[in-house]
Amino acid sequence: MRKYGKFTILGVALTIAALTTSCGTKKAITNDGADIRKTTTTAAGNSHGKNAKSERAMETAKMDFLRKVTDNAAYARNIVSKIKFTMNTGSKDITVAGSLHMRKDEVIRIQLTPFGIMEAGRLEFTKDYVLLVDRIHKEYVKTSYDSVDFLQRNGLDFYALQALFWNQLFVPGTQKTTDSSLKNFNVTLNAEASNSNHVALAYNKMSYEWTADPNTALINSVKAKYNANKSDAASVTCRYSNFKPLGTKKFPTDILLTMSTKAVRNANKMSLRLQLSSLDTDDKWEAKTTVSSKYKQVSVEDIMNQLGGL
């Protein structure tokens, strides 16, 4: 088994948190109070001289496409899979076997099991907290989102994070995307079937852009950017590929995340790849982890300091 230095397992797990949340939502509020800005949308070959009927037809086409995107959401309440986890730090790769357990609106859990022999580390997102467990050194971190500096500064919403893992659109501060909230998105339709359609949303200091296949409406990527001053600016890009059947829907089995942020030292060199190998909808597992009293609780700062040296 690869020799893991102290905090490395927790460091790897926290890197997942950093990658997926470095530009989460700034504040979980309802649409009524959200600063959602809609800009002019375009379509290839569109001209300013189209009459009102053509404009209405175009808006209908855009809404129809958005509905098709949302209709691609998996019906399953549980998604379970073995995974191959690879983190690139810029200077080296760390590859670990593991598993992914997700229960809709409850938990996202990544377990790291080198060579499939025993669990070495665990990362668990719930609506209320983030839990990181180092089985090797019997240490753990359990903290609320707002007590972690880089999460608090960049904001984190569990449902936005869930949407990233579940390959879905989302409106920050809301639990799910409704037909009414689809009006907040800007859509650019491309005439060429080989090109992607673009779906954008501006929210407070955040901007989001999804690309989706014009035929299947499957989301191929999403880029989230926190547009603040240079010291706080951050972005995360998530790319999806190798879609496989999951019930009557399709789900990506190759997820690649790259980040750009100053919240974590050397983070601009980091990327994370999850390759799912056995999609299932098994529900025979506990949604929450109970940590043994024999484990020692450590601080987030200790782990964050280790990330720059990975």
Of 217, 221, 282, 275, the residue nearest 250 (C-alpha): 217
Higher pLDDT, 304 or 229: 229
Q: Is residue 1 part of a domain?
A: no
pLDDT at 46 over 60: no
pLDDT at 82 over 70: yes
Q: Is residue 197 part of a domain?
A: yes
- Residues with Cβ within 8 Å of 239's Cβ and at least 6 positions away in sequence, in order, are 220, 221, 255, 256, 257
Q: Domain holding 243: CATH number?
A: 2.50.20.10
Q: Is residue 2 part of a domain?
A: no
Q: Is residue 87 part of a domain?
A: yes
How sure is the predictor about 9, in pLDDT bands with cuts at 50, 70 and 90? low
Q: What is the pLDDT of residues 130-139, one digit of tens each?
A: 888 888 889 8
Host domain of residue 66: 8-307
Q: What is the pTM of this model?
A: 0.82
Mean pLDDT throughout 9-33? Answer: 50
Q: What is the pLDDT of residues 134-163, one digit of tens each?
A: 888 898 988 876 665 545 544 456 888 899
Q: Is residue 3 part of a domain?
A: no
- Residues with Cβ within 8 Å of 8's Cβ and at least 6 positions away in sequence, in order, are 306, 310
The total number of structural domains that make up the chain: 1
pLDDT at 261 over 50: yes
Mean pLDDT throughout 37-66? Answer: 71
C-beta separation of 307 from 14 below 8 A: yes
Q: What is the pLDDT of residues 113-123, one digit of tens each?
A: 987 788 988 99
> Which sign, positive or negative, has the C-alpha torsion 177, 178, 183, 189?
positive
